[in-house]
Structure 1
Amino acid sequence: MDPAPANTDSRPPPAHVPLATEPLGILGSLKAARSNLLSILPEIAVRQPMVSGQTGIRWHMIMDPDAIRRVLLENVDNYPKSKTTKNILRPAIGDSLFVAEGAHWRWQRRAAAPVFSQRNMLALAPVMSAAAGRSADRIATTGDRPTDFLQEMVRTTFDVISDVTFSGDGTFDAEAVHRAIDLYIDEAAKVSLLDMLGIPDWVPRPARLFTGKAVGQMKAVADEAIEARRNRGPGGVPDLLDLLMAGEDPETAKAMNTSELRDNLLTFIVAGHETTALTLAWSLYLCAYDPDVQARARAEAQSVMQGDTATGEEAARMPLIRQIVDEALRLYPPAGILSRTAQAPDVLCARDIRAGDTVMIPIYALHRNHMLWDNPNAFDPSRFEDRKSVERYAYLPFGDGPRICIGASFAIQEAVIILATLLARFRFDLVQGRDPEPVMILTLRPDTGVWLTAKAL
């Protein structure tokens, strides 16, 4: 890709994770993985196309775009999601699109794809604008007090996903569902030593044995809401549940049953608001880190917006704000590491891959690789002025290939609408001594929050 202009800023780069400079071994890797998965990444991963090793099981990290294209597109059937990933997520979200493989995944994808058409996304934009307005009203009450904007963005995107999923009809306790999934992730999503040693799946992982009650209650609540909607029928503007219930596989005419609808809805609810909330929190942090970029973005928003909140059509006419979102996703990709398990021998970067090997795409390291990006730790939204200059498999915040995130356009539209609305009304500043720390367990989060002040304009 064409390098971005050299950054002459004398400030230290925005928050980042020091990567490992020495081999960690099995126990060291386990300790690191349970506290911050990013800390298992070797520093050479940001300077090399591929790194391999063995920590109980053979593993390979690939940062070469051609090798990544082979894994995610050209030979995708040979690289299903890793067993560890499935073991972590399946108890909570079943065989939804995020976890399913093969024919079961393909028909669900065909049935769900029309739900996320541009027309449907624009129809849902007013919900995003309304949530952005409510967020701005809450922020206006904070005065000069430092505020954790991660929590504010979680609340805002939660409002969005609840309304676009169930139209706020009161038949679904979405907050209870979210709490249950948070509990599951906190307790069960941590990497087990048994996973790292390659112990078979049928051997129980102790941390995953104590969350079944919460997950069972969550699924029961979702099932009841789905059946209530079947009995009531759709309302005015179709929400995600209406669209999914009406969807069918164009090849087989198969539609989702209640459990399939539930698993996919729970996936959309959690992933759909968690990842966008993180993107927005990091975007606000980066705007506070670089006041000049923030001022230009504010001027753009104020020149385009006709009201107090951005609309879907206006969001498409704010390129700098979109570039800020893109750069936040580069520096802090919510899914910092993708993991696959090779089913048959292959060759990547002239290196032999054996059946059973773990193949990782460390998105965090890929997005900061010195072979692919100029001054990769710097915040520079101008990298995305010409998106065609960005090598496709060097930038993967939503994955790629047939399994690219189905909700990517939803997330980008939501992030631009909310960010533009907030920048038009407030100036955001850092809180000294409270810089965020990027930590990844399942998603890449600011461990202690994103603390900023917001001054009304």
Structure 2
Amino acid sequence: MATQQMVRSTAPGPTGHPVLGMAPAFRRDMLGTMLAGFGRYGDVVAYRFGPRWGPLTQRVVMAHHPDSIHEVFTTPRLYSRRTTAFQVLTELIGTGLLTSDGEVWLRQRRTLQPLFTPRRVAGYAELMTEEAARIADTSPVADGATVDLHELMQRYALRVVSRALFGHDVDEAVPRMQRLMPVLSDLALARTLQIVRAPLAWPTPRARRISRERAAQYAIVDGIIARHAERGAGDDMLSRLHSATDPETGQPLSTEEIRDQVLVFLLAGHETTAGALTFTLQELGRQPELQARVAGGDAELARAALLEGMRLYPPAYTTERLADVDATIAGYHVPAGTRVMLSAYVTHRHPEFWPDPERFDPSRFTGQHERPRYAYFPFGGGPRSCIGEHFAMLEGTILLRALLARYRVEALDERVRLAPMVTLRPAGEVRATLRVR
């Protein structure tokens, strides 16, 4: 009887504003609000958005324990991606691998998986090394100059992904891409947190702005694809997208699907890696002795530093699923239709699995460590884990080793303000001094 009563209970959580619920708190400080909820209520926290009662009430359950995260990620018959956040992303960047669901996603994943095997990804090491050398050796950085680490890392990551995609750089598009990403992220987050979302077809100021920015991003991508077509097929990812087929059905990707995949790879692919590298370099810039060891050429330590950077600052800091049927999480009842949120940012600070969780310590990822699979999930998990994980790790490790072999990075700010948008990014410049070794 006690077990049955527990299973039927409702997860605890803050009450929030009587009309808006927790929406103002999440808009004001999402990361702080999630951490405070975890600290007060534990591994399962319920948040209300909108009025306390009525059709506009939305309830979100956040699960922080690795066991619960494992269940949500690996039980697709209970949880789908038909959530508000993914609907908004679809409005902005189309139906690519990041936003598609069900049979459409499964077909796309089967079709694209051969492009991201470890062997195929290893083929990009040379261009990654060239672009890392461009940043480390030929970029206009004078000895002792102050730079914005995030701008440098965006430049590197965007050039790497553009060369991998198109076989050449897209330098002319870099400034426009760097401007668009925070704008689109801000619009997406604001629309996701709205209690009532008007259709984009309605001529509201926000809808008009979203349509304008979406048209701008597609214009950039369409221009790049058109120039690629003029040169003809080559040994690049876009050429492979055109020739890729579903191994089970033989069906190729449509023109629209190729366009949407390119947009996802170009935007998400460079933004997440740039953020991970920026935060990792910022932390290493505050620990000169540790930085010197990474600079000494220890590939394992460089990789561990990047993994630790993504523990503290996971680019994909939250994700969500929709409970398609009644479910339970850690004994709490989750009614069908409830949004279930998972936050790598919070779970990566779970003191049960990460002692002294705010300390940057790459040794957490060297040697053998006993911790649950989903105590750490910067690339998601389950069948929908990030297809670009191997690519991102190789790209990041190559840059860290090349840059730190050339320069000592001295962080100028004790802490970096965070902007939790579609991805976790710095809220402003990340200033550092680079000194030639």
Partner of 1:296: 293
How far apart are the structure 1 equivalents of 2:82 and 2:313? 22
Q: Deviations over 1:286-331 (max 9, x none)?
A: 1112222111111125xxxxxxxxxxxxxxxx10000000000000
Alignment of 1:398-417 (within 5 A): 398-417=379-398
How far apart are the structure 2 equivalents of 1:340 and 1:207? 25
Q: Deviations over 1:181-212 (max 9, x none)?
A: 543333343245534x6x68789675243231
Change (3 A) 1:55 1:189: closer
Q: Deviations over 1:237-296 (max 9, x none)?
A: x21112222211101111111110010110000111111001111111111122221111
SS at match of 2:152: helix
Gaps of at least 5 residues in structure 1 are: 1-20, 302-317
1:34 equivalenced with 2:27 (yes/no):
yes
Deviation at 1:143, TM superposition (A): 2.6
How far apart are the structure 2 equivalents of 1:263 and 1:447? 27
Q: Deviations over 1:334-376 (max 9, x none)?
A: 1111112211101110111101111110111100011221111
1:355 equivalenced with 2:330 (yes/no):
no
Larger deviation, residues 283-292 vs 103-112: 283-292
Change (3 A) 1:225 1:429: closer
Partner of 2:432: 452
How far apart are the structure 2 equivalents of 1:435 and 1:370? 21
Match for 1:37: what amino acid?
Answer: M
How far apart are the structure 2 equivalents of 1:378 and 1:23? 32
The one of the two structures with greater contact order (alpha-carbon pairs below 8 A, sep at least 6) is 1
How far apart are the structure 1 equivalents of 2:66 and 2:91? 33
Alignment of 1:45-444 (within 5 A): 45-46=38-39, 48-56=42-50, 57-73=58-74, 75-81=75-81, 83-137=83-137, 141-168=141-168, 173=173, 176=176, 179-191=179-191, 194-195=194-195, 207-223=206-222, 225-226=224-225, 229-230=228-229, 232-235=231-234, 238-301=235-298, 318-386=299-367, 389-431=370-412, 433=413, 435-444=415-424
Larger deviation, residues 433-442 vs 243-252: 433-442
Change (3 A) 1:49 1:386: farther
Change (3 A) 1:124 1:430: same
How far apart are the structure 2 equivalents of 1:424 and 1:263? 37
Match for 2:383: what amino acid?
Answer: P
Match for 1:419: what amino acid?
Answer: L
So what's the TM-score if we normalise by structure 1?
0.83
Match for 1:240: what amino acid?
Answer: M
Change (3 A) 1:151 1:138: farther
Match for 2:134: what amino acid?
Answer: R
How far apart are the structure 2 equivalents of 1:22 and 1:44? 7
SS at match of 1:376: coil
The Cα RMSD (Å) is 2.6
Question: Matched residues, percent identical?
Answer: 32
Change (3 A) 1:437 1:429: same
Cα pair 2:162 2:169 within 8 Å, conserved: no
So what's the TM-score if we normalise by structure 2?
0.87
Change (3 A) 1:28 1:450: farther
Match for 1:98: what amino acid?
Answer: L
Gaps of at least 5 residues in structure 2 are: 1-12, 51-57
Partner of 1:305: none
How far apart are the structure 2 equivalents of 1:171 and 1:321? 28
